[in-house]
Amino acid sequence: MSTDLIALQKEMSSSVVRHTKELVKGHYSQLTGKVLPVVGREISHLKSTGVDLAQDGFEITKNVISRSIDLAIEYLPEPKPSFEGPVDEAWSAFSFGATGFKEDKLSKQEYKVLSEIEISIMNNTVVKNIPQLPKIAPRLINALKEDSYPWTEFSIILREDEKFQKRFLTIANSPAFGLKAEAKTIEQLLIPLNKNDLKQAILITAISTVMEFDKDKYGKESRNRITETAFKTAIACKTLASDGFEVDEESAFITGLTYHVGAITALRIMRNTGFVTCSVLSKPFVKRLQQLIALMTYQIVLAWKLPKNIRIAIKEQAVLGENPKLSPLGEILFLASRVAMAHYLSSNKIIKDSRDKVAVIVGLDRLAVCETSFETLNTIQNFNFTK
């Protein structure tokens, strides 16, 4: 470390220096040589503005340190976690940036997160913590309910919201819808895509908007993992509905797509409580978190006034026992969500033998009905739906 930087750090409050060293050594020890120089440059810049580091150091440089870590985070190597637990536990841990499990009691930090989530559920304030569904979405869906194809009306409504329109075009051009050539205008989409395809693109656009938040690296990564898994769950639900279950495919798709909305709310609460990412999580924490996420999702879809069968199917996931009695749509969601989680983890090389892990959860007798879902998901390329 340079003499100038040492001199500057001496001017800072001792608590800030200690905080910096503990942060770097505790979570970024392998990056000490890269992170600290970034911190040093930020401190030097701060000093050049005339700030009295000795007097105002702690409050001011606390933000500088945080920013420095964000700037240096790109140097972190890709994590190689090892998850040996059930696929749903492995997905929950990995989606929130964990590096593995521990057989241990709740940490103080984990207890704080669960308490905040429980308070949010009890006070019915969950919906306040998420963006509302774009108002244009239900209008577009209603336009597609007409017997005749409403080309003009659909186009006019979609053009009312430029941001929604832009994301809709991006999603409709994604690998999920298999267009042979990129559609650059709304009219170019209306010919190759049928009504169901358009409905799905609208729903994905709306849900991805709700799930968008956090500018930091880990917030974005967790959001992308959750959004991609939500899409895979929707596809798996739709596939199961068309393969032996007497449930309409549209309801199944919506159920799968909304199932992980509670996970985004949980992530927001974790970030607001200062939860440390890239840490090992306790199994009791992950198990309880899964239940609370399902309850939060239930409150959200209740506020969105989704059909009763969808609400029931999601609520059932929060009270799963060893031999759960589920509604037909609840059964589809249980199976499809495990398939989607396993598929996501295996395609990202987090787990091996995804089918075996699913079999442990759903049982061999129900594994056969999941095979088509695996095959369907294998045909769809990964796509970032939150661009």
Q: Which tens digits make up the pLDDT trace of 300-335? A: 988 888 889 999 999 898 877 655 678 999 999 999
Q: Rounded to whole angstroms, how far apart are CA atoms 322 and 358?
A: 15
Q: Rounded to whole angstroms, how far apart are CA atoms 58 and 76?
A: 26
Q: Rounded to whole angstroms, how far apart are CA atoms 204 and 209?
A: 8
C-alpha torsion 239→244→249→253, nearest 10: -50
Q: Could you tell me which residues come within 8 angstroms of residue 287 by beta carbon, excluding any fewer than 6 positions away? A: 89
Q: Rounded to whole angstroms, how far apart are CA atoms 202 and 189?
A: 12
Q: How confident is the model at residue 87 (pLDDT cuts 50, 70, 90)?
A: confident
pLDDT score, position 25: 57
Residue 284 predicted with pLDDT over 80: yes
204 vs 13, more confident: 204
Q: Rounded to whole angstroms, how far apart are CA atoms 229 and 205?
A: 15
Owner of token pair 């190597």: 77
Nearest CA among 35, 26, 134, 123 for reference residue 75: 35
Q: Rounded to whole angstroms, how far apart are CA atoms 353 and 230?
A: 21
pTM of the predicted model, to two decimals? Answer: 0.72
Residue 247 predicted with pLDDT over 70: yes
Sign for the CA dihedral angle at 100, 106, 111, 114 comes to positive
Q: Rounded to whole angstroms, how far apart are CA atoms 90 and 26?
A: 24
pLDDT score, position 54: 60
pLDDT score, position 337: 93
Q: How confident is the model at residue 234 (pLDDT cuts 50, 70, 90)?
A: very high
Q: Which residues partner with 155 through β-bridges?
A: none
DSSP SS3 for 100: strand
| Least trusted range by pLDDT, from 87-96, 111-120, 270-279, 341-350 | 270-279
Q: Cα angle vertex 106, ends 113, 86, to 5°?
A: 95
Q: How confident is the model at residue 384 (pLDDT cuts 50, 70, 90)?
A: low
2 by Cβ neighbours in 10 Å (0-12 / 13-18 / 19+) ranks as: exposed
Residue 139 predicted with pLDDT over 50: yes
Q: How confident is the model at residue 29 (pLDDT cuts 50, 70, 90)?
A: low
Q: Rounded to whole angstroms, how far apart are CA atoms 163 and 88?
A: 34
Question: 249-258 vs 217-241: helix axis angle to the nearest 10?
Answer: 160
* Token couple for 110: 């984990």
Nearest CA among 386, 385, 378, 380 for reference residue 177: 380
Q: Which residues partner with 102 through β-bridges?
A: 282
Residue 146 predicted with pLDDT over 90: no
pLDDT score, position 80: 47
Q: How confident is the model at residue 360 (pLDDT cuts 50, 70, 90)?
A: confident
Give Cα 351 to chain centroid, integer Å.
19
- DSSP 8-state code for residue 178: -
Q: How confident is the model at residue 259 (pLDDT cuts 50, 70, 90)?
A: very high
Question: 354-362 vs 328-347: helix axis angle to the nearest 10?
Answer: 150
* Contact status, residue 219 vs residue 271, Cβ threshold 8 Å: yes
